[in-house]
Structure 1
Amino acid sequence: MLLIALTMTVIFGVLYAKPYKVLKAAVAAEDWAKGAEALGMIRRLVGINLVLGLLTVVVASGGSVLPI
């Protein structure tokens, strides 16, 4: 679970460092194509984080029932 949490943290850091700043700049400049591209990357990264979070919940709530 710690590895998943660290991975999620790194993904969030990458998301905030690159695509979010590109999206903010694109919206300010009204460059909608570049903004859409950045938003697509944000969606993918948030989706990955969502899946990792759900995996963490399953592992945590499964406890001794799961053969992991």
Structure 2
Amino acid sequence: MTTSQTEGLLGMIAVIGILGLLILPAVIGIAHDRMIDRQISRSQRKEAKGENETRRPSRTRRRHGVAHPV
């Protein structure tokens, strides 16, 4: 290989590397969004079937100005 071919190859590798660094966060974000979408749809399916095990108990409302027993 001549010097100009080596420089061209190194330049091409550098450009591909920079492109990969720019695209990597977007790909990670897309994968994360898909994972969250799957979790949401799975939760909605369980809720529709009535299998939601992690239901929170309803909270009692406090009235201001009322004495609470100790």
Which structure shows the higher helix fraction?
Answer: 1
TM-score (norm 1): 0.46
Larger radius of gyration: 2
TM-score (norm 2): 0.45
